[in-house]
């Protein structure tokens, strides 16, 4: 399997031995050895997935790198975090994904189906797509963030509340709900992430960044 | 494997009143504290958020927030929990006051405990924090601490402790030059090399705080504030904003 390593906080190295990785288009900055690059649109998922991606802009273009050697990736000075998945599902917006390989299955998730109407409101609140990309399996997923990623543990005793604009993604068995503070009406006419919060309950990890988008 | 595992935080291993990284800070909330609007990025525990205009806060505001111009910039957080604060990727630093006073640029003040009192400084755009307790300030780049006497570029100045009010100092040749006369007529200001704030040394604890950049904080301009408000609109409000903007853009052609 490909080896993922951070050269520094903003630079990723992947070691390939006759293997293949998928990475965000335009993020390859150098490579050694015999590696071939090709465009790729989809990795798994059926016809429904293709339609969804077309509708939702979650159909981002990727490049596959195949061969043997070392490939270096970096994207717009953003910080890089390697997330090891152990059979869980990670939910993340596609533009925050830097690289992964075929040990992970990708899918497109309609957030509305997870929380009914609340999911819809959530999409409106985050200003991000109602559709998000999912990764499931055993392997590494490399994500990008503006500033360092902060990983917050969630268990049934410790739900976490997150500003939608600071949210990057989450993994595990979590239920995201829109949480509106009781006194939120007093915020009308003011800027405040506080009036809308995403409340995550269950078991898993939520990833946030210090810089609101 | 150390480089693959980002620290996984939970309420018991999050820093206690300390930085998580240069751009985020974790506050142990026990009771009440003032936080700049929109700078909460996550929290564990039982916390409530109230606007300063809310009923029931009058006593607190009377005691701790003596600054009418900035009322809408802050909210009161109430309860027990771990609060993570972030400010658009600006650097965050904390300051512990013990029966002291520190004046900071109003835009940079991020949060302060209710044991402190916040008043407007006589220097416009600055707030003076008086008393004992913790407060947070953001800055563009890390903060440098300097001991007076010192002259500081106005844009780079973050604040000062104890020192009596600073005064403007113009470069002598600038005052003499015709440029300054023309500038005064057409409204061109002097640059940091020509006009500085001068701090005299008065007491032993005098301190000046300087940010490592002359740029403004990220996320403080009007457009960013408006965009941050949009998620709070319901469908009808959003529709009204849309048609208003549509008319404005297309009506002017």
Same domain, B18 and B123: yes
- Of residues B181 and A149, more confidence is placed in A149
How much is the pTM? 0.80
Q: What's the CA gap between B25 and B10, in Å, rounded?
A: 14
Q: Which of chain A's residues have a Cβ under 8 Å away from the Cβ of B239?
A: none
Shared domain check, B108 and B129: yes
Residue at B248 is within a domain: no
Chain A residues in contact with B10 (beta carbon < 8 A): 152-153, 155, 158
CA–CA gap between residue B119 and residue B121 (Å, rounded): 6
- The pLDDT of residue B222 is 72
- DSSP H helices in B6-91: 58-64
Query: Contact, A34 vs A69, CB < 8 A?
Result: yes
Contact state of A165 with B228 under an 8 Å Cβ cutoff: yes
Which residues of B are less than 8 Å from A162 in CB distance? Answer: 41-42
State which fold the A3-209 domain adopts: Double-stranded beta-helix (3.60.160)
Q: Which domain holds residue B80?
A: 13-139
Interface probe for A, chosen from B1, B2, B3 (most Cβ of A below 10 Å), is B3
- Chain B neighbors of A155, CB-CB under 8 A: 10
Q: Are B5 and A84 inside 8 Å of each other by CB?
A: yes
Q: Using one digit for the tens of pLDDT, what is the confidence trace for B43-81?
A: 999 998 887 766 677 778 778 888 777 877 888 898 999
Task: Give the alpha-carbon dihedral of A65, A66, A68, A73, to 10 degrees.
Answer: 10
Q: Within this chain, do residues B120 and B99 fall inside the same structural domain, yes or no?
A: yes
What does the domain layout of chain A look like in residue ranges?
3-209
CA dihedral B78, B237, B220, B223 (to 10 degrees): 170
User: Quick one: B122 and B161 in the same domain?
Assistant: no
Are residues B112 and B89 located together in one domain of the fold?
yes
Q: Is A64 helix (H, G, I), strand (E, B) or coil?
A: strand
Q: Is the pLDDT of residue B223 over 80?
A: no
A199: contact with B, CB 8 A cutoff:
no
Cβ of residue B7 closer than 8 Å to a chain A Cβ: yes
pLDDT tens for A129-147 read: 456 788 999 999 999 998 8
**Rounded CA separation B244/B241 (Å):** 5
Lowest average pLDDT, out of A9-23, A69-83, A197-211, goes to A197-211
pLDDT digits (tens, 9 = 90+) for A158-178: 999 988 778 888 999 988 877
- ipTM of predicted complex: 0.77
Mean pLDDT, chain A, rounded, equals: 78
Number of domains into which chain B is organized: 2
CATH code (residue B105) = 3.60.160.10
Pairing type for strands B167-170 and B195-199 reads antiparallel
Q: Are residues B67 and B112 in the same domain?
A: yes
Tell me how crowded residue A13 is: count the other CB atoms within 10 A of its CB: 17
Burial A112-134 (b: 16+ CB within 10 A, else e): bebbeebbbbbbbbbebbbbbbb
Q: Considering only the beta carbons, identify the residue of A140, A193, A209 that sits closest to B40.
A: A193
Query: CA of A167: which chain B residue's CA is closest?
Result: B41
Cα gap B102→B208, rounded to integer Å? 10
């Amino acid at each position: 399997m490909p080896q993922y390593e951070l050269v520094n906080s903003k630079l990723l190295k992947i070691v390939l031995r006759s293997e293949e990785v998928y990475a965000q288009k335009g993020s390859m900055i150098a490579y050694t050895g015999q590696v071939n690059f090709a465009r790729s649109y989809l990795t798994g998922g059926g016809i429904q997935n293709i339609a969804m991606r077309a509708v939702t802009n979650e159909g981002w273009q990727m490049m596959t790198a195949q061969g043997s050697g070392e490939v270096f990736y970096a994207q717009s000075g953003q910080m890089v975090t390697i997330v090891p998945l152990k059979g869980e599902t990670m939910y993340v917006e596609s533009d925050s994904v830097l690289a992964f390989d075929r040990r992970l299955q990708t899918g497109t998730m309609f957030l509305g189906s997870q929380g009914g109407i609340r999911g819809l409101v959530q999409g409106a609140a985050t200003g991000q797509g109602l559709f998000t990309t999912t990764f499931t399996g055993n392997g590494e997923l490399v994500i990008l963030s503006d500033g360092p990623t902060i990983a917050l543990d969630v268990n049934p005793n410790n739900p976490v509340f997150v500003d939608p604009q600071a949210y990057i993604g989450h993994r595990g068995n979590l239920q995201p709900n829109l949480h509106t503070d009781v006194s939120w009406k007093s915020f009308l006419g003011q800027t405040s992430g506080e009036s809308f919060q995403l409340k995550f309950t269950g078991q898993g990890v939520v990833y946030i960044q210090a810089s609101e988008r | 494997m150390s480089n693959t595992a980002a620290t996984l935080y939970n309420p018991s291993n999050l820093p206690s009143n300390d930085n998580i990284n240069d751009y985020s800070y974790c506050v142990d909330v026990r009771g009440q504290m003032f936080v700049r609007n929109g700078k909460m990025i996550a929290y564990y525990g039982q916390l409530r958020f109230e606007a300063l205009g809310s009923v029931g806060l009058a006593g607190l505001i009377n005691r701790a927030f003596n600054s009418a111009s900035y009322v809408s910039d802050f909210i009161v957080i109430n309860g027990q929990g771990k609060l993570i604060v972030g400010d658009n990727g600006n650097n965050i630093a904390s300051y512990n006051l013990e029966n002291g006073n520190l004046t900071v640029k109003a835009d940079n003040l991020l949060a302060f405990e209710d044991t402190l009192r916040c008043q407007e400084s006589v220097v416009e755009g600055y707030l003076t924090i008086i008393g004992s307790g913790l407060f947070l300030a953001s800055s563009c780049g890390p903060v440098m601490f300097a001991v007076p006497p010192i002259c500081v570029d106005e844009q780079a100045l973050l604040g000062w402790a104890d020192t009596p009010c600073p005064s403007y100092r113009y470069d002598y040749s600038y005052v003499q030059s015709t440029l300054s006369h023309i500038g005064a007529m057409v409204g061109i200001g002097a640059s940091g090399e020509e006009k500085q704030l001068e701090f005299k040394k008065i007491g032993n604890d005098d301190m000046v705080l300087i940010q490592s950049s002359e740029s403004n904080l990220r996320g403080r301009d009007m457009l960013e504030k408006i965009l941050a408000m949009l998620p709070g609109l319901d469908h009808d409000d959003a529709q009204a904003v849309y048609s208003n903007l549509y008319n404005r853009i297309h009506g002017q052609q």
